[in-house]
Amino acid sequence: MSILVDQSTRLVTTGITGSEGTFHTLRNRDYGTQVVAGVTPGKGGQNVDGIPVFNTIAEAVDKQGANTAMIFVPPRFAADSILEAEEAGIELIIAITEGIPAHDELRAFQIISKNGRARLIGPNCPGVLSPGKANVGIIPAAFFKQGNVGVVSRSGTLTYQVGNELAQQGFGNSSIVGIGGDPVPGTDFIDVLTLFEADPETELIVMCGEIGGDAEERAADFIAAHVTKPVVAYIAGFTAPPGKQMGHAGAIVSGSHGTAAAKAAALEAKGVDVGRTPTEVAQLAMSKLGTPAN
């Protein structure tokens, strides 16, 4: 098993005809993901390396049975594309686009949660990889193999770093989920922890947080109350100065809130081990699960 994406995923990419949209959609297909359609308004009827392009997401759903959408359109159009996917009945919307206006994100999130029929991952995230099954997004899949460690992270490249450290120790992954570094993630740590807790393949959960907000603190409370599987955490930004936005729109230390130290303390208080470097995370995973058999 795995979570969110697998062999049943039928992917439509919005913004497929852009250079990045094309590049990563084809990489996802090469990995084995069933890519059934692309959408670019005005380019319906064309195809991208054999993938049919439609003018609307609704058409991609009707004609190709798409159930998962990858959003690759520029930031000013991204919320519109997310809502179009939602209205078309797409169940899983994975928004890669970085730089979406915060208020657009807030509205899109509120509408999706009110209607309750779709799950949004991201925006500003690297996507979801279930090794050996499907890759939706920009995660470099060659570094990861199937296994029993679930990874959830607010940061893309940090996910690869931590995932790679785990791979060096011989660990594989059930799924790797990038929830994104924006202020209003469609899916948060708690949602993904819930999915991993219920996933029989996942035996250990690695959670990568960063400064800003209180998502890690809330996750710590949730883990204590609802997660029986071992969890190892990593927090980026111990040396980040207060008041400076560190790249991600969500990564800012305001006053005494949102510091890496406070997050690590909150997690450790609930019995979650926190690695101080990505390498240490892999070592902690070893101490929980033992050296992987293969």
Partner 1 sequence: MDLLEYQGKMLFARHGVPVPSGRPARSVDEAVAAAEEIGYPCAVKAQVQIGGRGKLGGIKIAADAQQAREHAGAILGMDIRGLTVYELWIEGASQIASEYYASVVFDRGAKAPLVMLSTRGGMDIEAVAEEDPDAIAMLHVDPLLGFQAFHGRRLAFEAGVDADVVRPVGEMLAKLYEVFISEEATLVEVNPLIITPEREVRALDAKVTLDNNSLFRHPENAELRDLSAEDPQERMAHDRGLTYVKLDGNIGILGNGAGLVMSTLDVVKGAGGEPANFLDAGGGSKADAIVSAVEVILSDPKVEAVLFNIFGGITRCDEVARGLIEAFELVKPQVPFVVRLDGTNDKQGRAILAQANLPGVYTEATMDAAAAKVVELAG
Query: What is the footprint of partner 1 within residues 2-21 (CB under 8 A)?
Result: 20
Nearer to partner 1, 177 or 249 (CB): 249
- Residue 139 CB, nearest approach to partner 1 (Å): 6
* Count of residues engaged in binding partner 1, rule: CB under 8 A: 64
What residues contact 96, with CB distance under 8 A and at least 6 apart?
A: 24, 70, 71, 72, 122, 123, 124, 125, 126, 127, 137, 138
> Is residue 268 a contact residue for partner 1 (CB under 8 A)?
no
Question: CB of residue 130 vs partner 1: minimum separation in angstroms?
Answer: 16
Minimum distance from residue 182 beta carbon to partner 1 (Å)? 9
Sheet holding 47-48, edge to edge: 47-48, 51-54, 34-39, 10-14, 68-71, 92-95, 119-121
Residues in contact with 226: Cβ distance below 8 Å, sequence separation at least 6, in sequence order: 193, 194, 197
Which of 63, 117, 226, 244 forms a contact with partner 1 (CB under 8 A)? Answer: 244
Q: How far apart are the first and last CA of the chain?
A: 19
- 244 class by beta-carbon count within 10 Å (0-12 exposed, 13-18 middle, 19+ buried): exposed
**Candidate list 24, 226, 248, 257, residue with the active-site label:** 248
Closest CA to 191 of 263, 260, 122: 122
According to CB under 8 A, which residues from 32 to 71 bind partner 1? Answer: none
Q: Which residues pair with 135 in a beta bridge?
A: 129
Here's the x/- map for partner 1, 154-193, by CB under 8 A: it reads as xxxxxxxx--x----------------x-xx---------
Closest of 4, 117, 139, 138 to residue 68, by C-alpha:
4
Number of residues that make up the chain: 294
> Closest distance between partner 1 and the C-beta of residue 228, in Å?
25
Binding mask 128-157 for partner 1 (x = CB under 8 A): ----------xxx--x---------xxxxx
Site for partner 1 (CB under 8 A): which residue of 99, 261, 268, 269?
99
Kindly tell me which residue out of 46, 169, 279, 283 binds partner 1, with binding defined by CB under 8 A. Answer: 279
Residue 248: active-site member: yes
Q: Which amino acid is at 9?
A: T
List residues binding partner 1 (CB under 8 A): 20, 24, 75-76, 98-104, 106-107, 109-111, 113-114, 126, 138-140, 143, 153-161, 164, 181, 183-184, 208, 210-211, 213-215, 218, 234, 236-241, 244-251, 255, 260, 276-279
Catalytic machinery residues: 248
